[in-house]
Amino acid sequence: MPGTNLTRDEAARRAELLRVESYDVRLDLTTGPETFRTTATVTFECTQPGADTFVDFIGESVQHVTLNGEPLDPAQVFRDSRVAVSGLQAANVLTVEATGRYTNTGEGLHRFVDPVDGEVYLYSQFEVPDSRRMYPVFEQPDLKASFRFTVTAPAHWKVVSNSPTPQPTPAGVAGHLERATWAFEPTPRISSYITALIAGPYDEVRDEVTTRAGVIPLGVFCRRSLRQYLDADNIFATTKAGFAFFEEEFDQPYPFAKYDQVFTPEYNMGAMENAGAVTFTEVYVFRSKVSESKVERRALTILHELAHMWFGNLVTMKWWDDLWLNESFAEWASTTCQAEATEWVDAWTTFGTAEKSWAYTQDQLSSTHPIAADMRHLEDVEVNFDGITYAKGASVLKQLVAYVGREAFVTALRAYFCTHAWGNTTLADLLGELERASGRDLAAWAGLWLETAGVNTLRPELELADDGTYRSFAVRQTAPDEHPTLRPHRLGIGLYTVVDGRLRRDAYHEADIDGELTPVGELVGVVQPDLLLLNDNDLAYAKIRLDERSLATALSLPRGFGESLPRSLVLGAAWDMTRDAEIPARDFVRLVLAALPGERDSTLLRVLLGQLQTSVTLYVAPERRAEMQALLATALRELAERAEPGSDAQFQLVEGWADYTVDRRDADRFQALLAGTEQLPGLEVDTELRWTLVQALAALGVADEQRIDTELRRDPTATGEERAAQARAARPTAAAKADAWARAVERNDLPNQMVESIAAGFRRVTDPSLLAPYVTRYHDMLVGAWESRSVAMGERVVGGFYPFRLADESLRQASDAWLDAHPDAPAGLVRTVAENRDAIARALRAQAKDADAP
């Protein structure tokens, strides 16, 4: 039985057989808090009359099925998430009347009740295969059709879909509820996974943008209780900049009739590119001060989803094999737009600091895969929204742009959109346009970069003459044994000299690196600089190493670079060396602490603080951990106290101090900040920072249940409830950890974001031995927990409740034993457990290196 899976072969067969003309979908959202009525009438043609096929639906029940006027027995044709239809004619009309079920998992049609005012909010989330949770559908991207939605809902709601929202008509009263019906116009031909429905008493702000297609209405929506925090002007400004940039770059008018952006609760991801009705996580509605890096990230997300209107929605992948291209292109396009058309001119530096770091980490796990992964079925797709699909793919696309030239790349894009508008494509279609525009054969490039996995390491090999010049200089490329491919790289090489305590770049060369050893003749006879930086300007996707003199210079001058990009690259190399057990974790901690004073790059600061935490909690030898935890907390406190008042750095350093301290002596300071009896100049202790401090007090054993409840009364919102649950789970008692486990693991009724919050609190410990009892319990619950949950919820439980902080050999052995005993477990489950195990195996290697150091 297929369950809810769908194979690529089944989809290909169905695509050969059918051409879908339209869907008429009717939804009644007034039937109660658990289910809704859904009816889909599908008009389609069949190329082989007499053939059989099926339509997809995951829901409570199917009441009626009619094919070409003939009733079919639901008990006979509906099972295993499929409605079977046989004896098709050349032209067909299929109607399925069913009952759908709301979710609280962020998949399908999600239902949320705002605790502030009791109002109900709905939103849909369909990628990859979840439009079938809202209506019966042929769930695959290459069976495009026109969709007409008719929605009955409470009359005071707003209803948003892909087409412009029509005026509602009264639909009578049910009980005390006044109802109305919204009859939307049909959409253009699109894939079902980008259809959308958002409904509830959302507040909205309106604007418009003039485009090549004419004046396009713009809308920004959020829950009523968040309206006071919605900075719609900033969102509209970023959106308008994206419209102008993408229409010019792609030489295609915006393809839809309007553009709404809706910020929704309990959202699993950053956003979703529904055609003309994009949904975002409402984390991007900032109810308190946030770091500049988060504001920059929101702008990038807005542009990423807008880019999808052309690449992904106007032209769509044939099957999920090209999911990577869909997401990687949007990453490349949005970062390019952000760097060239917004205030975020250093967007590519941010990309290198954060996104590529994510890619390098993902590419060194046992689960890594080629960028162009083999998506045999939907279960493969659901576990591949990762750092390879997004960040490595975008890094490689950036290299491809450099390889063929920006002008040729844009020419190819324009031809691609013109040729394939409203259709489906594969990677070969885009590569064909690129080859025609550039005159280059891309087959070899695609084979090396897209069809193999793993990250290469580049290091300088040099020999010096007596006068201090390079007698020889080459770049050595290596690859891990399990992924031995060596690849071509376009590489920048920067030569830096120390001048008055600063590093000045005196020369820069670019070289094409290929094979195991590539001589760089331009450097022969050049005086050895104080620091030589491979991959300067961050052109290549590769880990880098420093030669002995360059590493010594970097360690002695952690603030030597005037610009953040080379500083990020050098610190990134040190981080890779720490993760690869080439330098002791304690040395990395001291290097970063010396590099933090005066750091103004918000994303680099955020990334470094995260790396410090990982180093101290996982990579430092256990016998040295208490010493380094005390050093980290003291250093962050002192840095926060000395930071510029009101600055982004001050804010992030205070957050880091609160998140990472294990010293109960800090509790008095946190309580004073909360009470207002102590202040840091320029620091506002607002709602979210209060929760950060309360959670720190809870983790230190100072804030009890009553103290947490008091804070919740100050913030009786959905977010407040999540923060309180996280604080309760963070308390350093066996009872608190047991309660967290019981609520989120043993039960299966909490919403997605609540599970995530409890898991974050559960993992937070000052004494890792609190988690020791959960090694066995964790591995014992895996199969049952995964099989009883959706993929999104399974990943939250299996990933979130792994007792990482133990980071010892017994945990690694337990995970290895489970993997050995369950080779046939679901692929997503095996992958998640294996990735957890990989993190512990790497930590143990790093701990051994740190233990051997003086």
Would you please indicate which residues are annotated as catalytic (active-site) residues? 305
Q: Tell me the C-alpha distance between 478 and 369, whole Å.
A: 18
Which is nearest to 226 in space by CA: 208, 200, 195, 207? 200
Give me 204's structure tokens.
Answer: 């909205």
> Strand, coil or helix: what is 664?
coil
> Strand, coil or helix: what is 46?
strand
Q: Tell me the C-alpha distance between 367 and 353, whole Å.
A: 23
Question: What sign does the dihedral 338-344-346-351 (CA atoms) show?
Answer: negative
Q: CB burial class (10 A; 0-12, 13-18, 19+) of residue 252? A: buried
Cβ within 8 Å of residue 91, ≥6 positions away:
43, 45, 46
- DSSP conformation class of 167: P
Q: What is the identity of the amino acid at 328?
A: S
Q: What is the Cβ-side half-sphere exposure of residue 152, based on CA atoms within 13 angstroms?
A: 18
For residue 128, whether the previous peptide bond is cis, meaning omega lies within 30 degrees of 0, is: yes
* CA distances, 341 to each of 273, 332, 345 (Å): 21, 14, 8
> Strand, coil or helix: what is 162?
coil
Q: β-strand 502-513 against 457-464: which pairing, if any?
A: unpaired
Give me 619's structure tokens.
Answer: 């990579």
Element (DSSP H or E) covering residue 178: strand 177-183
As a whole number of Å, the CA-based R_g of the chain is 28
Q: How many CB atoms lie within 10 A of CB 209?
A: 18
Please spell the DSSP secondary structure of 51-112, one letter per residue: --EEEE--SSEEEEEEETTEEE-HHHHEETTEEEE-S--SEEEEEEEEEEE-BSSSSEEEEE
> Strand, coil or helix: what is 311?
strand
